[in-house]
Structure 1
Amino acid sequence: MTKKKPPQEKLLAAACDIFMDKGFRGTTVAEICARAGTNIAAVNYYFGGKEALYQEAWRHCLTESMRRHPPDGGVSPDAAPEERLRGRMKALMRRIADPENKDFLISQMEMVNPTGLLEEVMRTELIPLRKETLAVVRELLGPDADEQRVVYCEACLVSMCVHPLLMQRVRQKTKKTEAPMFANDLEAFAEHVVRFALAGVRATSGEDEP
């Protein structure tokens, strides 16, 4: 006999799907409750309102995505920094490409029509991950690299991982079949991006200060 999900789990699942498709402002509490099969008062009862449910839905999606794709990519913390960066970059790309991942698309909807509601929860969850990546980049650049160079390199590395795959997810979601699918072989694309990134970091580490 299949165990029934509790109402809060049904609400979270419904909210993740609808917020991903319509964003915060395009989503109604009634729509969430109808999809979850709950009373319309359930959102206030379990989450305290639509705003809190929005924040919890994004956090829930991120947690599930991290569970499927641990941010270190399964690479030992004792591995060389090149391997640790490779693990982190590939894990990030796999997360974005995963069709079950919803936190990136919810974030995209928030960027298109910002509410400010996700600022604090995103800061809390994402800053520790960014600090870990910055630490690896700092190690690769060496002790003479200033902090600005570290931050620039990290921003470029993350952009190479996020932008192309997120745009591909958006194309898939909007069914724009005429757009090229350049990452059909995710692992080959990820390895190319990592090699390109490591070469860039190595070149940057030899720069003279401006």
Structure 2
Amino acid sequence: MTLPTPQPPATDADTRVRLLDAGGAVFAEHGFRAATVRDICSRAGVNGAAVHYHFRDKAGLYRAVIEHAFHAALDRYPPDLGLAAGASAEERLHAFVRSFLLRLLSDGVPAWLGKIMAREMIEPTDALEHIIAHSARPLFERLTAIVRELAGPDASVEHVMRASQSVVGQCLFYRHCREMIRRGWPESEPTVEGLDELARHITRFSLAGIRATRVGGRA
């Protein structure tokens, strides 16, 4: 009779990662308020006290889940995608758009992150301020710096803000409306293979809009 090989005990780091992965799936499925620590620990296969040990409470785990996913996505697809120093504003805009689409649509990023963020837009939690301060705002400021350079020195703060929001909106459309596109217009469904062309399209469209509304050349 062959006895099963004993599995090594989980380390603190292993337990933490399992909680983050399980937490992401459960929060996306049920939302922060309906998700329970018991369900998360059961899915992770860890003791019920592990959440308190690693994250203090459910809210702490929720913030950590989002931070972990954001940082992992940014590590894999940084906003500049490794552009050389001295790249033009046009090149930096394209890199920003392409990296954003990769983080939104690539198989390399957990699908549950998009679901959690969609829930935050509908039923915001206390974590939203943390998300804005530590993840969304730094990225958006990087984008507005690029747009400001493209829009020219006389561009107003409002113009730069709206142009930047338009860039983000074009990218988010393909994430939040993906199922509608798949069912209604399957021929234009975004795919990983088509991301490069989609990034070029959004970049060209955005550049044309920014240039058309520069001070002195308003459309």
TM-score (norm 2): 0.84
Matches within 5 A, 1:192-203: 192-203=201-212
Relative to structure 1, is the Cα distance of residues 47 and 64 closer, same or farther in structure 2, using a 3 angstrom cutoff?
A: same
**Conserved in 2, the CA contact under 8 Å of 1:76 and 1:84?**
no
Question: How many residue pairs were aligned?
Answer: 204
The Cα RMSD (Å) is: 2.3
Matched residue SS, 2:155: coil
The separation in 1 between residues aligned to 2:47 and 2:156, in whole angstroms, is: 56
| Aligned counterpart, 1:164 | 174
Deviation beyond 6 Å, 4+ runs, structure 1: none
**Conserved in 1, the CA contact under 8 Å of 2:89 and 2:149?**
yes
- In structure 2, stretches of 5+ residues that fail to align are none
The separation in 1 between residues aligned to 2:127 and 2:60, in whole angstroms, is: 9
| Aligned counterpart, 2:104 | 96
Amino acid of the structure 2 residue aligned with 1:147: V
The separation in 1 between residues aligned to 2:136 and 2:63, in whole angstroms, is: 14
| 1:42 maps onto 2:50 in alignment | yes
The separation in 1 between residues aligned to 2:199 and 2:53, in whole angstroms, is: 44
The separation in 1 between residues aligned to 2:53 and 2:132, in whole angstroms, is: 24
| Aligned counterpart, 2:34 | 26
Relative to structure 1, is the Cα distance of residues 134 and 34 closer, same or farther in structure 2, using a 3 angstrom cutoff?
A: same
- In structure 1, stretches of 5+ residues that fail to align are none
The CA deviation at 1:155 is 0.7
Q: How many percent identity over aligned positions?
A: 33
The CA deviation at 1:186 is 2.0
Matching residue within 135, 140, 151 for 1:130: 140
Amino acid of the structure 1 residue aligned with 2:31: G
The CA deviation at 1:114 is 2.1
Matching residue within 128, 131, 145 for 1:121: 131
The CA deviation at 1:206 is 4.2
Between stretches 42-51 and 70-79, larger displacement belongs to 70-79
Matched residue SS, 2:133: helix
Between stretches 183-192 and 9-18, larger displacement belongs to 183-192
Matches within 5 A, 1:55-134: 55-99=63-107, 100-101=109-110, 102-134=112-144
Q: Deviations over 1:45-88 (max 9, x none)?
A: 11100001000100001011111111112223411101111110
TM-score (norm 1): 0.88
Matched residue SS, 1:160: helix
| 1:142 maps onto 2:152 in alignment | yes
Relative to structure 1, is the Cα distance of residues 19 and 196 closer, same or farther in structure 2, using a 3 angstrom cutoff?
A: same
Query: Rg: which structure is higher?
Result: 2
The separation in 1 between residues aligned to 2:68 and 2:114, in whole angstroms, is: 12
The separation in 1 between residues aligned to 2:117 and 2:198, in whole angstroms, is: 23
